[in-house]
């Protein structure tokens, strides 16, 4: 069995995922497997990953069934276990009111944000079972919270993440007796490519959105988010199972 602590991070080539790869790989006892849609793309992540002995990549497009189906075989060539699975990859491009959102926007967001993480977990599950750690963290959003509903026009994005949250609850219940620790985390309002796009598009849909964000949301950088999420993951134990945490470590209701 692989002696290093093995992390699998989906969407590890940009934004929060890339920052998590950078921070976790600083510890040579960690082995990071990052999924990317196009491993051949010559970008900053590829240069970084090729310079690190403890970082590997696998091809995974969440919108391609063939990529998900091949994930187990790809992982098996690199490791015999996964200690920590971070389901980070997703999309957010649903800046519409519900009554205006195109059908395809809903279908795409549910396929990528709600369904793909579940099917990916099914492939990762046999590797997690071989670990003593057995942690699975699903990156969600405060915008999907029922208990703290926010009047933001993110239609399919928020509801797809709410669907993901329910799967997190189901998995945490089903696998608790096997020693799994499964929970969701809100990474903050992050100034990544995705977050910057939100700041550009949301005000056009709701004129008061800038005022809302200024009053209630403090944007953070991808690195600040990654460092905070890393602390939450490292602090997590069996008490975290089936819960929803914000990047600052506070617990919130779904």
* Beta strands 244-246 and 84-87, pairing class: unpaired
Measure the CA–CA gap between 52 and 229, rounded to whole angstroms. 22
Contact 35, 55 (CB under 8 A): no
Maximum Cα–Cα distance across the chain: 55
| Burial per residue of 189-216, b for 16 or more beta-carbon CB atoms within 10 angstroms, e otherwise | bbbbebbeebeebbbeeeeebeeebeee
Measure the CA–CA gap between 30 and 33, rounded to whole angstroms. 10
Measure the CA–CA gap between 100 and 253, rounded to whole angstroms. 29
Residue 176's Cβ-count burial label (10 Å; 0-12, 13-18, 19+) is middle
Contact 183, 240 (CB under 8 A): yes
Residues assigned a catalytic role: 157, 161
Contact 83, 137 (CB under 8 A): no
102 φ, ψ (degrees, to nearest 5): -65, 150
Task: Please calculate the CA angle 82-45-67 and round it to the nearest 5 degrees.
Answer: 55
Dihedral of CA 86/139/133/122: which sign?
Answer: negative
């Amino acid at each position: 069995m692989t002696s290093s602590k093995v992390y699998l991070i989906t969407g590890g080539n940009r934004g929060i995922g890339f920052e998590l790869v950078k921070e976790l790989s600083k510890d040579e006892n960690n082995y990071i497997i990052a999924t990317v849609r196009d491993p051949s793309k010559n970008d900053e992540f590829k240069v970084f990953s090729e310079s690190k002995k403890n970082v590997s990549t696998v091809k995974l497009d969440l919108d391609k069934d063939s990529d998900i189906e091949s994930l187990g075989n790809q992982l098996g060539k690199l490791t015999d276990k996964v200690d920590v699975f971070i389901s980070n990859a997703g999309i957010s491009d649903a800046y519409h009111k519900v009554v205006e959102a195109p059908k395809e926007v809903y279908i795409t967001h549910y396929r990528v944000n709600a369904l793909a993480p579940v099917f990916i977990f099914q492939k990762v599950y046999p590797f997690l079972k071989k670990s003593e750690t057995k942690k699975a963290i699903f990156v969600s959003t405060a915008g999907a919270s029922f208990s703290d509903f926010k009047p933001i026009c993110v239609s399919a994005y928020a509801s797809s993440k709410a669907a993901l949250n329910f799967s997190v609850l189901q998995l945490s219940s089903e696998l608790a007796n096997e020693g799994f620790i499964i929970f969701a985390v809100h990474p903050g309002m992050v100034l990544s490519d995705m977050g910057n796009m939100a700041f550009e598009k949301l005000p056009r849909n709701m004129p008061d959105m800038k005022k809302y964000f200024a009053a209630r949301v403090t944007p953070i950088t991808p690195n600040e988010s990654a460092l905070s999420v890393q602390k939450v993951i490292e602090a997590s134990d069996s008490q975290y199972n089936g819960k929803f945490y914000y990047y600052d470590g506070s617990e919130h209701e779904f």
